[in-house]
Structure 1
Amino acid sequence: MASEPRHPLLADTSSLIAVANTDQWDVLAESLALTTTNVCKHELHNHVNSNTYAPEGSREQYLKRGSQRVLDHLDDSSSWSCVSVVPRPHGPDAGEESLKQELSEHGDSYQVVSLLDGAARRSIRRLANNHGYDVDIVGPPYLLYVLLDNDLISKAEFCEATGQMIRTEGWTGYEVIKNAWSSIPVDCSAFLDGDILPP
């Protein structure tokens, strides 16, 4: 079997679900070339299979819907790929660990790594620095920012989708909101309430 191509953008399970549940999902899916790992794909399948009867509006339904959207696109698109990580990590942080493993072995293939978890981002940033990789380690809203930066969505659409992501994900608190906006040089104060803007 031919190996999957490695696109410059590498994303984990949580990051993919976060963007898949925004109004800009269709634009993002069609416009970005992206890679994830077999471990993240397995996590997406788990979210779909374990939330069969998720109630409307619940976190479980959100995870299922976002995961299904990502899986459908992974199966249909040549611009999205899934690479195998060996040995395969297990446990609650397996997806994040698989990105770390993939980056340690193929760091020169990537320009951007997107993860939701702040601690995982710090860990991967250390790995990239130690290996001398020139890669940006960012949160999920950065994927929307790439669309704005390439004139695929307007500033209002970017701000509204990022606000939607922050609210839907339930990100509250100073550090979480600060992390969500890190690496994004856009002032959204004309479009969003102050409680979800960077401090």
Structure 2
Amino acid sequence: MKDSLTLTTTNVCKHELQTHVNSNKYPPEGSREQYLKQGSQRILEHLNSNPSSWSCVTVVPRPHGPDAGEESLKQDLSEHGDEYQIVSLLDSAARRSIRRLVDDHEYDVDVVGPPYLLYVLLDNDLISKTEFCESTVEMVRREGWTGYEVVKNAWASIPLDCAEILDDDYDDALPP
């Protein structure tokens, strides 16, 4: 599955991932910091070991601050919008902001949450509906998305009901 999509990120997002890895050497078990560190490590390992499925663009001038990653995506999208098909991020406020940019420039770009990338695989018959549902739940759990709004936002762009496939053991990671 991992070789079925080609993904691009920005140098700013990559730097944010590295900061999550380096900032807390020994995060408490089960904490948000641990999830951020582990998730960031997995992405960086994949990014570094699979250069054919990942690319990284340099954004100049480099944005700074708490929303630097999202700002770098907006900046690159505003300059190269015709090269994008999908922009994926969990933060719903950032998605709304990027959707406004897409609408203003009339780009043909979908702005979605991370599970939508798995939906692309399902839609192209590369995985089954059961694999999609189980993988999405695994993503929600492994990334530590536990709050009501976060779980709801993770599933927001998915036109599929997984509750009929998954049993009660998955309720914590299904949309409310």
TM surpasses 0.5: yes
Give the structure-2-normalised TM-score.
0.86
1:85 Cα offset (Å): 0.6
- Look up the match of 2:5: 32
Distance 1:127 1:158 in 2: 30
Rounded to whole Å, the distance in 1 between the matches of 2:156 and 2:55 is: 26
Alignment partner, residue 96 of structure 1: 70
| Code of the aligned partner of 1:32 | L
Cα distance, 1:78 vs structure 2: 1.9
Q: 1:67 aligns with which of 40, 65, 77?
A: 40
The corresponding residue for 1:181 is 155
In the superposition, relative to structure 1, how do residues 186 and 152 fare at CA in structure 2: closer, same or farther (>3 Å)?
A: same
What TM-score comes out, normalization by structure 1 length?
0.77
Higher RCO (CA 8 Å, separation ≥ 6 residues): 1
Summarize the Cα distance change of 1:171–1:62 in structure 2 as closer, same or farther, 3 Å threshold. closer
Structure 2 gap segments, 5+ residues each: none
Count of residue pairs the alignment pairs up: 171
Describe the superposition over 1:83-102 as per-residue Cα deviations: whole angstroms up to 9, x where unpaired. Answer: 00111110111001110111
Task: Tell me if the contact between 2:146 and 2:172 (Cα under 8 Å) persists in the aligned partners.
Answer: no
1:81 maps to which of 52, 55, 58:
55
CA RMSD of aligned residues (A): 2.0
CA contact (8 A) 1:115 1:138 kept: yes
How much has 1:186 moved relative to structure 2?
1.6
Distance 1:87 1:176, change over 3 A: same
- Give 1:32 shift: 1.5
Stretch deviating more after TM superposition (107-116 or 63-72): 63-72
Unaligned segments of structure 1, at least 5 residues: 1-26
* 1:192–1:186 distance in 2 versus 1, CA, 3 Å: farther
- Classify the secondary structure of the residue corresponding to 1:78: coil
